[in-house]
Amino acid sequence: MSIDLTDVSDARISVDDVTQGAFATELSEDEISEHIATANSIVNDRLVNSGLKSSRLARIELYLTRHLIRFLVEPEVQSENLGAVNRSYTGNFSHEDLRSTRPGQQALMLDTSNTLGTQEFDQFFTMG
C-alpha cells in the first residue's frame, strides 16, 4: 500500500494559503502539499487536544509549513552578490528547531500551550 504524501484533504490550509502574501517559493504545488501534509500531521498529533481554537491551529499549520520549506528546502537569502557569488541566509542556524526561521518563530508564538516549544529537534521531525 502506497501513502500519498501530497494528500492534504484533511489539512486546515491550502497551497494558496502558503503562497500568498510576502512568502515566495519555487516549489511545485505537489512539493508544497507534502510540507502541508507534514505540518498537518504535527498539528494533529501534538496540538489538537491542547485547547487551542481551530483558527489558531490553522495559523500554526500555515507557519509550520512555511518553516519546513525555509528550513529544509529554501532558506531565505538576506543578501546576495553576483560576482563570485556570495549569499547570506536569514535565520538562526545555531538552533535546530522552530526558532531557526521566522515562520517557525511565528508558530511558536501562536502555540500558547507551548507544546511545540518543548519539542527537541529529533522529536519534532519524527513522524511515527
Q: Mean pLDDT over residues 13-17, rounded?
A: 97
Stated pTM of the model? 0.74
Largest CA distance in the chain: 52
Q: What is the pLDDT of residues 82-105, one digit of tens each?
A: 666 655 555 554 556 788 788 888
* Rounded Cα–Cα distance for residues 33 and 15 (Å): 6
Q: What phi, psi does 77 have (nearest 5°)?
A: -85, 125
In the structure, what pLDDT confidence band is assigned to residue 106 with cuts at 50, 70 and 90?
confident
Q: What is the pLDDT of residues 55-76, one digit of tens each?
A: 999 999 999 999 999 888 876 6
* Rounded Cα–Cα distance for residues 30 and 15 (Å): 9
Q: Is the dihedral of CA 29, 44, 115, 57 positive or negative?
A: positive
- Spatial CB neighbours of 69, under 8 Å, sequence gap ≥ 6: 18, 25, 27, 32, 35
* Rounded Cα–Cα distance for residues 9 and 117 (Å): 27
Better-predicted residue by pLDDT, 64 or 80: 64
Better-predicted residue by pLDDT, 6 or 66: 66
The full set of domain ranges for the chain reads 15-123
Q: What is the pLDDT of residues 23-47, one digit of tens each?
A: 999 999 999 999 999 999 999 999 9
DSSP H or E run through 66: helix 54-68
DSSP H or E run through 79: strand 77-81
In the structure, what pLDDT confidence band is assigned to residue 126 with cuts at 50, 70 and 90?
very low
Query: How would you classify the pairing of strands 77-81 and 86-89?
Result: antiparallel
Looking at residue 117, its pLDDT comes to: 84
Residue 1 has pLDDT above 90, yes or no: no
Q: In sequence order, what are the beta bridge partners of 88?
A: 79
